[in-house]
Amino acid sequence: MLFEKVTFIGIGLINSSLARVMRRDGLAGHIAACSRTRKTLDKAVELGLADSVTTDPRLAVEGADLVVLGTPLGTYAEIAENMAGGLKPGCIVTDVGSVKECVERDVGPHLPEGVHLVPAHPVAGTENSGPEAGFAELFDGRWCIITPLKKTDPAAVETVCELWRCAGSDIQMMDPVRHDKVLAITSHVPHLIAYTIVGTATELEGDLRDEVIQFSAGGFRDFTRIAASDPTMWRDVFLNNREAVLEMLGRFSEDLVALRRAIRRGEGDTLDEVFTRTREIRRGVIDAKQHIPPKGPNGAKN
Amino acid sequence: MLFEKVTFIGIGLINSSLARVMRRDGLAGHIAACSRTRKTLDKAVELGLADSVTTDPRLAVEGADLVVLGTPLGTYAEIAENMAGGLKPGCIVTDVGSVKECVERDVGPHLPEGVHLVPAHPVAGTENSGPEAGFAELFDGRWCIITPLKKTDPAAVETVCELWRCAGSDIQMMDPVRHDKVLAITSHVPHLIAYTIVGTATELEGDLRDEVIQFSAGGFRDFTRIAASDPTMWRDVFLNNREAVLEMLGRFSEDLVALRRAIRRGEGDTLDEVFTRTREIRRGVIDAKQHIPPKGPNGAKN
């Protein structure tokens, strides 16, 4: 057992998957879940993921050795402020959010002396949301990026690493600013692009829109999957990683303009050259064993 | 048996998959394969997909009841010209290309009287290329769009429909101009965007590029898969569907600018609204059963 009491603030896809890992491996003596909505908490109990539930963050964290924030980034500051009074000395506060510099900014100032903040980001997910969408294998063979602050107790960092190793993840330590830059291009901009093109399709006239759905197997399908991800979570990612996302989006837009120009002018060689280069990156992804999408809760493809 | 002799011009992913369907269901008495490269033809023989092979299109089509063009669109005109002399009266010439208006333009003028042109587009594929990448189940539950000319013999059209029904496809008749517009948004623009963002990533400094590959499971992975598709085939798609691609790309770019603006200004509501709308399209794709990606040749995920 790694923890006597663990509190999950938010029990959606990621936190509920981590709760399943803890159940499977017996890592926690007691699991408490906190959510704004009663329905989500009822579901968590029904699924056997929580021993106690409450909508009150302060109550939820009382006596916890580990608190895992798994709510949209925009809620962090208020939750940290609300729960601060319930945190016991020595407690580790971690999170699973997709942007990391903002965690220190929003959560750090509220934590009492003796509480350890260890921001983390499991680079894994599906387009599904809610406690029923989670599954214990989600993190298997995926990276978990940990972005500890300089002053953080190494023992607390090691405990969080150990937890993610139990989940099957490989650990990577990283500076939060670097993390946010890397993830802007690997995750945030791809999501924004997918949302954009699916949005473009939703605005087509009725007939054409139906046909877009009908013939989506031509490539569009993959974008609709990405663009089905949780809207609030992603809104907060973009608002909290604005600089890096806008920079990478700028580069992408320049490159797209260049390809548009090549198409307009009928410059086949330019297209050939770019399309050939991109295959190498795919080979890298396959070599790094990151190419297999996760299976859903019942082994079904999402 | 639907045909005594079928000739495949090009024996890559799509044509080799169709050849496998024909072998499985005994649809063809004799299968001839034609390719520019000897190595591809040797592979087709080794895989048992062809009874005879040649690099000469005219020789390949001699005595054929059905000719299936499955090479990059840019080669159609020259191939049509070269093979014309070998076509027997009553032969059906079809293709599997991703743009349809250009087929009548490039192939039509070369065909002798009494030969039937029936352009077709199976909306299915993977990012893999070559005869070894094909599999008979590729077209199962997918749409095949047929864009017959007004003057085409209905019996020839029906024969092509029957072939695709055997492959497990649902048939949709469509005007070629409409086809090219619909596919621009469902397939061509998504591919261009995927190529672009993967291209943007390849130009990042060394360290950052390695990390992009390492953490690709965050969303980027899906783009690298699409951007691993055959470069020549896709170059020719963009060059031959220029108008529709540029129009849809224009709409996409406007929408992306609007989202960039919302991020820069911190307008969460705008993001929320777009991200919520896009979920409906995903639901449509799932209802239309187009959401499951094809399995690879050995049932392995590509």
Query: What Å distances lie between residue B302 and A139, B49, B128, B145, B239, CA to CA?
Result: 20, 22, 8, 24, 27
Pair A190, B222: CB distance under 8 Å: yes
Rounded mean pLDDT, B164-187: 96
- Flag if B256 and A193 touch (Cβ within 8 Å): yes
Predicted confidence (pLDDT) at residue B93 exceeds the cutoff of 50 = yes
Residue A301 included in any domain? no
- Flag if A185 and B193 touch (Cβ within 8 Å): no
What is the C-alpha to C-alpha distance for residues B55 and B35, in angstroms, rounded to an integer?
Answer: 5
In this predicted structure, what is the pLDDT of residue A47? 98
Q: pLDDT tens digits, residue range B278-292?
A: 888 888 888 887 777
Q: pLDDT tens digits, residue range A147-201?
A: 999 899 999 999 999 999 999 999 999 999 999 999 999 999 999 999 999 999 8
Predicted confidence (pLDDT) at residue B123 exceeds the cutoff of 60 = yes
Residue of B nearest to A138 (CA): B217
DSSP for residue A2: -
What is the C-alpha to C-alpha distance for residues A3 and A22, in angstroms, rounded to an integer?
Answer: 10
Same domain, B89 and B132: yes
The half-sphere exposure of A91 on its side-chain side, counting CA atoms within 13 A, is 24
Query: What Å distances lie between residue A72 and A102, A201, A236, B171, B282, CA to CA?
Result: 12, 27, 6, 44, 22
Q: pLDDT tens digits, residue range A110-157?
A: 999 999 999 999 999 888 999 999 999 999 999 999 999 989 999 999
Pair A236, A73: CB distance under 8 Å: yes
CATH classification of the domain holding B48: 3.40.50.720
**Range of weakest confidence among A96-100, A214-218, A267-271, B262-266:** A214-218
Number of domains in chain A: 2
Same domain, B125 and B189: no
Same domain, B203 and B111: no
Q: What ipTM did this prediction achieve?
A: 0.90
Residue of B nearest to A129 (CA): B279
Of the candidates B174, B203, B224, which is a domain's last residue? B174
Same domain, A190 and A68: no
Which of A167, A216, A165 shows the shortest CA–CA distance to B185?
A216
Contacts of A228 in chain B (CB under 8 A): 278-279, 282
- Flag if B193 and A288 touch (Cβ within 8 Å): no
Same domain, A135 and A228: no
Enter the pTM of the model. 0.89
Nearest CB to B277: which of A193, A199, A245?
A199
Residue B289 included in any domain? no
In this predicted structure, what is the pLDDT of residue A295? 63
Residues 234-293 of B with CB under 8 A from A: 234-236, 238-239, 242, 245-246, 248-249, 251-253, 255-256, 259-260, 263-264, 266, 268, 271-272, 274-282, 284-285, 288, 290-293
In this predicted structure, what is the pLDDT of residue A193? 95
- Alpha helices, H only, B47-188: 57-61, 76-83, 101-106, 154-166, 176-183
Q: Is A50 left (phi over 0), alpha (psi -120 to 50) or beta?
A: beta
Show the domain range for A255: 178-265
Confidence of residue B295 (pLDDT cuts 50, 70, 90): low
CATH classification of the domain holding A226: 1.10.3660.10
Distance between A7 CA and the closest CA of chain B, angstroms:
25
Contacts of A240 in chain B (CB under 8 A): none
In this predicted structure, what is the pLDDT of residue A294? 67
What is the C-alpha to C-alpha distance for residues A302 and A215, in angstroms, rounded to an integer?
Answer: 19
Angle in degrees, 0-180, between the axes of helices B189-202 and B206-214, rounded to the nearest 10: 130
Confidence of residue A222 (pLDDT cuts 50, 70, 90): confident
Same domain, B128 and B220: no
Distance between A272 CA and the closest CA of chain B, angstroms:
6
Count Cβ atoms below 10 Å from residue B99 Cβ, excluding itself.
Answer: 27
In this predicted structure, what is the pLDDT of residue A302? 36
Query: Which of the given ranges, B219-228, B259-268, B279-288, has the highest pLDDT on average?
Result: B259-268
Count Cβ atoms below 10 Å from residue B25 Cβ, excluding itself.
Answer: 14
Could you tell me how many residues make up chain A? 302
Angle in degrees, 0-180, between the axes of helices A189-202 and A231-240, rounded to the nearest 10: 130
Residue with tokens 């214990």: A136
Same domain, B80 and B94: yes
Distance between A4 CA and the closest CA of chain B, angstroms:
31
Residues 51-110 of A with CB under 8 A from B: 74, 98
Q: pLDDT tens digits, residue range A7-58?
A: 999 999 999 999 999 999 999 999 999 999 999 999 999 999 999 999 999 9
Contacts of A98 in chain B (CB under 8 A): 218
**φ, ψ dihedrals at A55, nearest 5°:** -90, 0
With 0-12 / 13-18 / 19 or more C-beta atoms within 10 angstroms meaning exposed / middle / buried, residue A77 is middle
Predicted confidence (pLDDT) at residue B294 exceeds the cutoff of 70 = no
Same domain, B212 and B248: yes
Residue A228 included in any domain? yes
Amino acid found at A246 = L
Distance between B280 CA and the closest CA of chain A, angstroms:
8
**Range of weakest confidence among B37-41, B74-78, B149-153:** B149-153
Joined tokens for residue B162: 């029957």
Residue B214 included in any domain? yes
Which of B147, B161, B114, B225 shows the shortest CA–CA distance to A291?
B225
Same domain, A97 and A226: no
Residue B288 included in any domain? no
Residue of A nearest to B284 (CA): A213
Same domain, A119 and A88: yes
Amino acid found at B77 = A
In this predicted structure, what is the pLDDT of residue B299? 42
